[in-house]
Structure 1
Amino acid sequence: MPILDIDHIQLAMPAGGENEARGFYSDLLGLPEVAKPANLASRGGAWFQAGSRQLHLGVESDFRPAKKAHPAFLVRDLDGLRQRIVANGQAPQDDEPLAGYRRFYLSDPFGNRLEFLEPENGAEQ
C-alpha cells in the first residue's frame, strides 16, 4: 500500500492561542481557516488551508515550540511576503542558500519555525 501524498502538517500551540493563530496564519500569511469537525473542535486549536494541503495547530498541554522541525511553504512573491512580515514588526531570518530557491525562516507567535521559499526566477518546481 503506497503512500500517495501528505494530507496535512500539524504543529503544536499552547491552550488559548487560537486568536493569535488566526491573526498570524490567516490575517498575516493569508491562509484561510478551515472549520474543524465538530467532534474535534472541543480540543481547541485551529486549521488552515495551504494550497491542496492543510496546516493543523493542535493544543498541547506541555507545549514546546518546534525550533528545528518545520513546514516549508512554497510561495509566489517572496519579497512581498517579506515586506508584509517586516511591516508587521517581525524579522524574517535568512539561512544558507538552497539551490534553485530563495527562502527565509520565520517563527509563528508560539515559536514554531516556518520556512517560506520561492523558486529562483519564478520557475515552477
Structure 2
Amino acid sequence: MITAVDHVQLAAPPGSEDRLRAYYAGVLGMTEIPKPRVLAARGGCWFQAGTVQLHLGIEETFRPARKAHPGLRVTGIERYGARLRAHGAQVEWDENLPGYRRFHSSDPVGNRLEFLEPVTSV
C-alpha cells in the first residue's frame, strides 16, 4: 500500500548545484539536507520543507521538465508569489483549478514548479 510520497526527483545539468542552492534554499526557503555519502559523489543536492523533499540529481544529457512538475502546497500564496518575483523568478498565475489559487514558475535550470493553496470559504 502506498502511504505517502517520500520525495520528488528533478534533474539538473552538471555544475548547477550553486544555482540550485541559491534558489531552493535562498528563494524558496527550503533547507538543504545531506545526501548519503555514496550518492553525494554523483553530485546534485537535496532539499526539505516540512515533510516535503525535493531531490535534484545531475543528468549529463539534461533537459528541463517543462510539463511534468511537483505541486507544492504553500501558505500565503500571494506573498509567496511576490517573494519569487522579487528574486527575479517568473510567476504565471493560473485560475483553472477550482478550489485553489495557484501559479507556475521555473527553477534556475528550467524545471517547472507549481505552487498552490486551497481557497478557504469565508
SS in 1 for 2:60: coil
- Structure 2: which amino acid aligns with 1:37? P
Match of 2:72 in 1: 73
Match of 1:47 in 2: 46
Query: Structure 2 vs 1, CA of residues 122 and 112 (structure 1 numbering), >3 Å: closer, same or farther?
Result: farther
The 1-side partners of 2:36 and 2:120 are apart by 40
Q: CA deviation at 1:94?
A: 1.8
Q: CA deviation at 1:96?
A: 4.1
TM-score by length of 1: 0.92
- Structure 2: which amino acid aligns with 1:17? S
The 1-side partners of 2:32 and 2:121 are apart by 27
Match of 1:112 in 2: 111
In structure 1, stretches of 5+ residues that fail to align are: none
- Say which is worse superposed, 93-102 or 66-75, in terms of deviation: 93-102
The 2-side partners of 1:96 and 1:118 are apart by 12
Match of 2:12 in 1: 13
Q: CA deviation at 1:50?
A: 2.9
Q: CA deviation at 1:5?
A: 1.4
CA contact (8 A) 2:14 2:59 kept: yes
Q: CA deviation at 1:119?
A: 0.9
Q: CA deviation at 1:89?
A: 1.7
1:11-57 alpha-carbon deviations (Å, 9 max, x no partner): 00001101100000000000100000111101000000132131000
TM-score by length of 2: 0.95
Q: CA deviation at 1:64?
A: 0.2
Q: CA deviation at 1:90?
A: 1.9
The 2-side partners of 1:4 and 1:82 are apart by 30
Task: Please list every run of at least 4 consecutive aligned residues from structure 1 whose deviation after the TM superposition is greater than 4 angstroms.
Answer: none
- Structure 2: which amino acid aligns with 1:85? L
Instruction: State, as a whole percentage, how many aligned pairs show the same letter.
Output: 52
The 2-side partners of 1:86 and 1:26 are apart by 16
Match of 1:88 in 2: 87
Match of 1:59 in 2: 58
